[in-house]
Structure 1
Amino acid sequence: QIILCLVTPDETPLAAREAAKAIAPGALYCDMTSVSPDTTREAAALIERAGGRYVDVGVMSPVGKFLNKVPMKGSGPHAAAAREALGAYGFELEVVEGDIGQASAIKMVRSVIVKGLEALTTEWLLAAEAVGVTDDVVVSLKGKWPGIDWAEKGDYNLGRMMLHGKRRAAEMDEAVRTLEALGVSARMSAATRDWHRSVGEMALPTPEGLREKLRLVRAGGVSTA
C-alpha cells in the first residue's frame, strides 16, 4: 500500500493523525506536503507509531508542468523503498542522504529563494507601474542580466501568486519556522509570506498579460508602500 499525502501545510499533522487511524502495517506514507523538518518529524512519529513507513518527500517543481515526472527528493529509512514503489508508476524519486526532515529542509530552503524572488518581483513591478517606469526598469535589468526576460518572468511570478498565494503563504510559514529553528533570521521570508498572502487573499482572476495582472492587483488595494 502506498499513501500520498498532498495537503496544505497547516493540515499536515491532522492528515497524519487521521491516516494513522487506518493505515495498514508496513504501508508507505509518502508525505509530499511543503513543511518544515520539525513538522515532518511530528507527522512521521504519528505514522510510525501506527505501524506505517513514513517517507519525507520534497516536490521540487510545479506538478502541472511535469506531472508524475516532477523532480522529487526523498529521505528517511524508507526512502529507497518508496523510490522503488513509486517508480512502478513512473515517478522519479531521488533519495538523499539523511534522516526524515532532510528532504523537507532542501525544499524549505529552496522556497526561501523561489517564493522570495516571486514576492520581490511583484514588489518592484507594482512600484514601477505606480510611477510609470516599468519599461525603463525592464530595459535596465536586461542590460545587467541579458539572459532573463524580466517582463515574462514578472508575468509568470505574479500569476503564480494570484493563483496560489494563500497556499504559498502557508508554505512560507513553514519556511520561517525552519529558519528560526536553525537560528537564522527570517525577516525576508516573513515579508515574502505576507506578500503571497495579501495577493492570494484577493482571489483575483489571472488575465493574460503582465499589465492587466498589475492593474487588477493595484485596483484590489495591495499597497506598494
Structure 2
Amino acid sequence: MSTAVPQDTPSSQAQPDGTPQAFRIGLVGYGEVGRILAEDLRAAGVAVSAYDLKLESPSSDADTMRVHAVEFGVELGASATMVATPADLVISAVTASQTLDAARAAAAGLRPGTFVLDVNSASPKAKRDAAQAVHAQGGRYVEGAVMTSVPPYRIRVPLLLGGPHASAVEPLLKQLGFAPTVGSADLGVVSATKMCRSVMIKGLEAMVIESLASARHYGVEDAVLASLKETFPGIDWEKQAAYFFQRVIQHGRRRSEEVREVAETVRDAGLTPWSAEGTAERQAWMADLAEDGVFGQRGDADFGRSPDWRTEADRLLAQIAKPKL
C-alpha cells in the first residue's frame, strides 16, 4: 500500500518515469513511542529510518531496537543527522531532556522545506528553542502535543499541532494515519496545554502510588479505596491504580524528565512548582527502584505488568524495609 503525498512536500518531485519518489520518514528516538509509530507507518507502506542514542552503547534496550528494526523493516541510522538527511518528514520522539539536542542534530541534515514534527513532552521554551534551530537550517518545525497515552491509540493518538507550519503539515499527517488537530499557529501554546495537563496526570500517578503504598503498609488500603470510590464513583480505582503502577515502573525515568519540564513551565508562569517538583522526584525514585530490579528484570514479559497494584506495592515496601548498609 503506498501513501499519497501532498504536492507541497519535497517527495512530490517526479522521478524520470513520472512516478512520485518514495516517501520517507526519519525517526529520531526509537523507544516505545518511536517503535509504535514505525510499526504503523511500515504497515501503511511508508519507508522508515530511525536513530536512538541508546544504539551507541551495548544494552538490552539497544538489542530490542535492533530486533524490532529487522522485524518491521526499519533502517537504523548512525546519527540523527544521517536519519534526517533523506527524510521528507522527521519525527522527534526522544526524552524531554534531549528535545533541543535532537532538534539541533536533525536540523544539521535537513533539506530545505522538510517538516520536523516534535512530539516530545517539553516546555514551551524548549519547543521555541528547538524551532529556532530547525528554522535556521531551512526546515519547517511543528510542535506536537500528545494528549494521552500512546499505546491504546497508537498512531491515532490525539495530537495537537502548533506553530506557523502546523496547518501545512496537517493534511500530510492525516494521510499517514495520524489524528492531528491544529491547536495554534503560535509556538508554545499546545506545549503549554500538554504541560499544564501533566501537572494533573503525572501528579495523580505519583499521588496514587504514594497513597496506596502507604495504605498498604498500614493495612488500610481497602478503606482508602472505598472512600475514593465514594468520592469519585466514575473511576475504577483498582484498575486505575494498577495502570498507574505499571506505567511508572516501566517509564518512570521518561516521566520524571517530562515533569521537570512541567516544573519549568509552571516556573515560567511565575508560580513555584511545588507539586510538579515533588511528582518528578517520586517518578525518578520509582525509576531508580525499577533499574535496581525491585520490580523484576526489564525486558521480561511481565515486567511492571502486574494486574494487581498490591504486588508492586509489596515489592516496593519490602525494598524500603531492608536495612541500609
Same fold (TM over 0.5): yes
Aligned partner of 2:221 among 134, 140, 150: 134
Looking at structure 1, the residues matched to 236 and 247 of structure 2 have their Cα atoms a distance apart, in angstroms, of 17
Q: Distance in 1 between matches of 2:128 and 2:319?
A: 39
What's the Cα RMSD here?
1.4
Letter in 2 for 1:150: W
SS of the counterpart of 1:35?
Answer: coil
Are residue 165 (structure 1) and residue 264 (structure 2) matched? no
Rg comparison, structure with higher value? 2
Unaligned regions of 5+ residues in structure 2, if any? 1-87, 296-302
**Whole-Å Cα distance in 1 between the matches of residues 96 and 252 of structure 2?**
13
* TM value normalised by structure 2: 0.67
Task: Name the residue aligned to 1:81.
Answer: 168
In the alignment, is residue 217 of structure 1 matched against residue 304 of structure 2?
A: no
Cα shift readout 1:104-160 (whole Å, capped 9, x = no counterpart): 111111111000011111111011001000011111221222221212211111111
**Partner-residue secondary structure (3-state), 1:201:** helix
Aligned residue number for residue 159 of structure 2: 72
Q: Does 1:201 align with 2:201?
A: no
Distance 1:102 1:140 in 2: 37
SS in 2 for 1:100: coil
Q: Any conservation in 1 of the 2:248–2:286 contact (CA below 8 Å)?
A: yes
- Decide whether the 8 Å contact of 2:145 with 2:190 is kept in 1: yes
Instruction: Give the structure-1-normalised TM-score.
Output: 0.95
Question: 2-side partners of 1:141 and 1:29: how far apart?
Answer: 43
Q: Which residue of 1 aligns with 2:115?
A: 28
Cα deviations by residue, 1:179-222 (Å, 9 ceiling, x for unpaired): 00110220011000001000012123313311101111222329
Give the secondary structure class of the aligned counterpart of 1:82.
helix
Residue 7 of structure 1 corresponds to 94
Note if contact 2:165-2:185 (Cα within 8 Å) is conserved in structure 1.
no
**Secondary structure of the residue that 1:96 maps to in structure 2?**
strand
Change (3 A) 1:195 1:222: farther
Q: Partner of 1:123 in structure 2?
A: 210
Answer yes or no: is 1:185 the counterpart of 2:269: no
Deviation at 1:97, TM superposition (A): 2.4
Shift of residue 78, structure 1, vs aligned partner: 0.3
Query: Structure 2 vs 1, CA of residues 124 and 84 (structure 1 numbering), >3 Å: closer, same or farther?
Result: same
* One-letter amino acid of the structure 1 residue matched with residue 149 of structure 2: P
1-side partners of 2:214 and 2:265: how far apart? 30
Following the alignment from structure 1 to structure 2, what is the Cα–Cα distance between the partners of residues 153 and 129? 16
Report the secondary structure of 1:33's partner residue.
Answer: coil
The correspondence for 1:54, drawn from 141, 148, 151, is 141
Match of 2:199 among 90, 100, 112: 112
Please tell me whether the aligned partners of residues 69 and 91 of structure 1 are also in contact (alpha carbons under 8 angstroms). yes
Higher helix share: 1
2:124–2:265 Cα contact (<8 Å) kept: yes
Structure 2 counterpart SS, 1:202:
helix
Q: Percent identity?
A: 35
Using the alignment, how far apart are the partners of 1:220 and 1:83 within structure 2?
Answer: 48
> How far does residue 98 in structure 1 lie from its aligned partner after superposition?
4.0
